[in-house]
A and B are shown apart, each in its own frame.
Chain A
């Protein structure tokens, strides 16, 4: 009789131990899933911000206000006209609230010339007051200067930097 009681107790302890381990495993799985969700949410946010930055960069790259044109021919790829660029800031500032804010929202767009000499052209700057972070996207562009060359225009090397805020 005593023997059977002890055997029953042993079984009970075994079952409790198994249940305990099972719940510990479930708990681990839940903690892991929670942590994963946190990271996934952050990643998704970053991805969305990156996509927004990319979208704004593309819009900036194809702005007729900046693009290099060749009369009626197709515009040149990844090229900004320096003649337009030198005065673009005035236009961007003048129509910031009326037009450009609906295109670029809260962002900072600047073009940096690296070669032959370093120069910066700030095109658009509308910082978000409560911005937590920003995402920068870069694109290498060529800057066409038709004033310098005699028969051929001069192409300078630079890049466009678009920063969006979250």
Chain B
């Protein structure tokens, strides 16, 4: 009799234990669901679109500084991506004080490239409190390792995990090689 009561009591305690385990499992499951909830599609789309549009606009911008080419009296001004970045790649080894075809604001095209990129990204993404990373590198046929032309970080930069990219914006810089520009954007 005593054994039977003890046995039933043991069974009840076991049931209680099982219920607690089930409740804890359910709680953890809910927490995992909330924690692993993916970013809303809209946020990702906005970030990707913004990264692409920023990069595309930056590369297309016409440089309005009047002193880019000394002695040139024409009215056509250099384009940021096509002319300045390309010139920077072609004359990268002469940086910062040496020769470059364009000398906007009196500086080497690589210095100007850095100055203008930092300024324009700061005025847009920086002002909107976005973290970003701009990376530009030159892939030369003669070298296996690409040469870094420019690295600009805004805010705390971007971790590799949660970021969106503008995609590669390649520019063929004649004999100098291929320039690869990319903008990473994260919150």
Contact = CB atoms under 8 A, between A and B. Distances in A.
Interface in B20-48: 40, 42-43, 45-46
A165 to B, nearest CB: 18
A49 to B, nearest CB: 10
Given A47-B40, A54-B45, A140 B74 contact: no
Nearest to A46: B40
Contact of B61 (A50, A115, A152): A115
Interface string A80-103: 000000000000000000000000
B75 interface: yes
Q: Which label, helix, strand, loop or mixed, suits the secondary structure of the B interface?
A: helix
Contacts of A137: 46
Contact of B50 (A116, A139, A157): A139
B62 A149 contact: yes
B49 A139 contact: yes
Interface size grouping (class) on chain B: 20 to 34
B77 interface: yes
A54 B46 contact: yes
Interface string A94-119: 00000000000000000000111000
Contact of B64 (A50, A78, A154): A154
B79 interface: yes
Interface in B79-120: 79, 120
A157 B128 contact: no
Nearest to A138: B128
Nearest to B120: A157
A10 B76 CA distance: 96
Contacts of A140: 50, 53-54, 57-58, 124
A141 B53 contact: yes
Contacts of B57: 78, 140-142, 157-158
A78 B56 contact: yes
Given A50-B42, A152-B76, A114 B49 contact: no
Interface of A: 47, 50-51, 54, 77-79, 114-116, 137-142, 148-152, 154-159
Interface of B: 40, 42-43, 45-46, 49-50, 52-54, 56-58, 60-62, 64, 74-77, 79, 120, 123-124, 128
Shortest beta-carbon contacts, A-B, top 3: A116-B64, A150-B75, A140-B54
